[in-house]
A and B are shown apart, each in its own frame.
Chain A
Amino acid sequence: MALVELRNVSKIYQLGGEEIRALDDVSFDIDEGEFISIIGPSGSGKSTLMHILGCLDSPSRGTIQLDGMMIQDVSARELAAIRNRKIGFVFQFFNLLPKLNVVQNVELPMIYSGVSAGERRRRAMAALESVDLANRSRHRPSQLSGGQQQRVAVARALVNNPRIIFADEPTGNLDSHTGEAILGLFRRLSVEGRTIVLVTHDPEIAAVTPRRIEIRDGRIAEKIDLTLAGLNRTAPTVPQRPADGGTGVTQ
């Protein structure tokens, strides 16, 4: 069974009596350990798709199964818990809390999952270690560069050891050099066995992932799967995640 199974998912908005199909009958699977990009121009529905995949939004029609759980009929509270434990987000605008320092930002998801303070600090530092920012743990986000902020965001996404990470235009707000570095970080995480979904409008960025799904006008326009074609350029071997679940921040 795939980690994520989307079946005939539609998202329909009513706008001034007019029906807008942001997503129209989309079906696909994401397997454990996959590095996949969802690509499409702005307004294509890729963000809506990511929100639905990320349990931030629910579909108007169709079903989603995440890690063996049907998520279209769970309560808002359970959705929050799923986001907390199974999903990590990395956003275009980093979305760090300006009032908290770096390590507190990384600790944030664990606060909502009820991890004890000592354990929180330990895991947050380990996550920062894995993105090479342990020495900046006491800084405020505003004292860091864009690339560093994004790495903090990645550490935050990792810290609860989620099943899947969604990155929404993670390089969109960075210069190309820093963007490269962030993509490299994702590639490394993928090699470590993480399931990563990269959402972008830029085909060049999408090119780093072996599998790409292109969305146009709410429909899947094209599916490219280099792993099937034996042309996997980026991740020749995908090691399995450690069986114990690990902290996910192993070096």
Chain B
Amino acid sequence: MNLFNTIRVGLKEVWTHKFRSVLTMLGIILGVASLVGMAAVIKGMENGMKEAMIAMGGADKVLLQEEDVPSHQQHLADQAPGRTMVDVEALRRSAPLLRVVSPEMRVSGVVATRGEKMVMPSELCGVWPAVIDMNLHTLAHGRFFTELDEENAHAVCVIGTGIRDELFGAPEDIGREIIPIGELLNLNGQPFTIVGMFARYESEQEKKMRELARSKPPEARAGPPRRRGFGRGNWAFWHKNYTMYIPLNTAWIRFRAASGVDNIPDPRLSDIDLKVESIERVEVALQQARNVLMMTHRGIEDFSFRTQENNLESINKQIRNARLSGGFIAAISLLVGGIGIVNIMLASINERIREIGICKAVGASGLAIFTQILIESVVIALLGAALGVGASYGLVAILALISPSANAPLITPLAMAIAVAFSALVGVSAGLFPAWKAARLNPIQALRNE
């Protein structure tokens, strides 16, 4: 009894009872579709998270964070210096394992205006040019700050495309791209010259969709252009596009020096970001940085390092959990499909008792009958799996419509392979009992069966 023939007979059996077979397969179809769909959603999530992480500065970025002093140094808390330019200079000179040290002085509560239009930048920071390397910025137009800008605290700024969109108009709305280099804008009433603009940051998905939209003619729209919120799309990209940088000294002199408690300006930086020479030696580099900072902080440990490794770990953990629970649900659904197959195979052999008797009388061994029924069950399961894979494309297309574009689900071949393999397994296990039952039918009684 060759395999090919058995499969052919199995297919014929499925074809004879089309409706019944499809109903039976439905369990497997849904199971496979949900497994592949689930995996696609999780993959989309993973992609979104990883892209966002890179948008926030990449894996080798280390944040130097301010901490409460440890309890054994509680009596020194008043003398804790916080993160200042002293630290930055010391790190630059004495910690050669650090590649980049980027101080940031954030200025909060600033509104950027130009004529009638206004925008709140996601962050307004006084920075050094090191920030470009640190936060993986791409300067698309103009220039970044020079030493003269820093030295003389020039009123210049570099903006993200989001700021441009709000103040000058987005290319999607006005049909051409405005590059506002040399234009003026006001920060809390102080005029600043725009000297540079970053590239537009977006996920691969958004980019594709935007390019697609560009090839289509713009839709007719009534009324003023609507403000684009940040509900859809990735928060990390939104944040990066609405960034605005000014020279560190400018931030200090124009926004910090005249403020603070009792008119004593606060010299502390809001962030010091570090990048290590090589990601393999991150431990050593951080130890070095720690030693330097312990000197400048006079032994008061009011800081800590936060590496992206922790971030990556938490992303991976989330993905793993999502996968586990998604896989579990899909597995249950496949299991239910398997029970459906058992049911239908039992019904099928019951109505074919006489046929099985005939086959046995003409010399079919128990094994031949067993194989026949088993293969029929596997054929149903695999047909279901094939249809399920087809259905999963539809499912993913629907999911793509309702999920945020940055996390668009992505079908992976691995998930498909797993789903199909699991269906085959379900088919085999579902066929075992009916096949065993059919194989041990007594031919005489089977032939008498009407």
Contact = CB atoms under 8 A, between A and B. Distances in A.
Contacts of B363: 80-81, 83-85, 109, 112-113, 160
Contacts of B364: 80, 84, 112
Nearest to B359: A108
B1 A112 contact: yes
A167 to B, nearest CB: 13
A95 B365 contact: no
A76 B366 contact: yes
A123 interface: no
Interface string A91-109: 1000111010000000011
A95 B354 contact: yes
Interface in A116-142: 117
A156 B362 contact: yes
A108 B1 CA distance: 10
Contacts of B310: none
A207 interface: no
Contact of B447 (A91, A97, A109): A91
A51 interface: yes
A192 B357 CA distance: 29
A56 B444 contact: yes
B250 to A, nearest CB: 87
Interface string A167-201: 00000000000000000000000000000000000
B444 A111 contact: no
Nearest to B16: A99
Given A91-B447, A114-B1, A77 B354 contact: no
Contacts, number: 64
Contacts of B360: 56, 80, 83
Q: DSSP majority for the B interface?
A: helix
Given A111-B5, A112-B1, A95 B368 contact: no
Which of A51, A85, A97, A112 has the most C-beta atoms of chain B within 10 angstroms of its own C-beta?
Answer: A112
A91 B13 CA distance: 25
Given A77-B367, A99-B16, A112-B368, A89 B1 contact: no
A89 B5 CA distance: 23
A225 interface: no
Contacts of A56: 360-361, 443-444
A215 to B, nearest CB: 17
B23 interface: no
A48 to B, nearest CB: 9
Q: Which range contains the number of A residues in contact with the other chain?
A: 20 to 34
Nearest to A108: B362
Nearest to A157: B362
B378 to A, nearest CB: 19
Nearest to B15: A99
Contact of A99 (B5, B12, B365, B443): B12
Given A80-B360, A83-B362, A99-B16, A57 B354 contact: no
Contacts of A156: 362
Nearest to A168: B447
Contacts of A96: 358
Nearest to A94: B358
Contacts of A84: 362-364
B355 interface: yes
A80 B1 contact: no
Contacts of A111: 1, 5
A65 B346 CA distance: 37
Contacts of B2: 114
B147 to A, nearest CB: 86
B361 A89 contact: yes
B190 to A, nearest CB: 89
B366 A109 contact: no
Nearest to A120: B5
Given A51-B444, A89-B361, A95-B447, A77 B5 contact: no
A80 B441 CA distance: 13
Contacts of A112: 1, 359, 362-365, 368
A152 to B, nearest CB: 12
Nearest to A78: B365
B6 to A, nearest CB: 9
Interface string B148-187: 0000000000000000000000000000000000000000
B358 A80 contact: no
Given A95-B447, A114-B1, A109 B362 contact: yes
Interface in B350-385: 354-355, 357-368
Contacts of A97: 355, 358-359
A141 B364 CA distance: 21
A57 B365 contact: no
Nearest to B354: A95
Contacts of A51: 444
Interface string B119-136: 000000000000000000
Interface string B1-34: 1100100000011001000000000000000000
A83 B355 CA distance: 16
Contact of A81 (B16, B365, B444): B365
A80 B369 CA distance: 11
B168 to A, nearest CB: 75
Given A56-B361, A95-B361, A111-B1, A77 B366 contact: yes
Contacts of A99: 12-13, 16
A62 B287 CA distance: 92
A200 B274 CA distance: 100
28 contacts: A51-B444, A56-B360, A56-B361, A57-B444, A76-B366, A77-B366, A77-B367, A80-B360, A80-B366, A80-B368, A83-B362, A83-B363, A84-B363, A84-B364, A89-B362, A91-B361, A95-B358, A95-B361, A96-B358, A97-B355, A97-B358, A97-B359, A99-B13, A108-B359, A112-B363, A112-B368, A114-B2, A160-B363
Interface of B: 1-2, 5, 12-13, 16, 354-355, 357-368, 443-444, 447
Given A80-B368, A95-B358, 9 more contacts: A85-B363, A95-B357, A97-B358, A111-B5, A112-B1, A112-B359, A112-B362, A112-B364, A114-B2
Which 4 residue pairs across A and B have the least CB separation, nearest first?
A84-B363, A80-B365, A109-B362, A83-B363
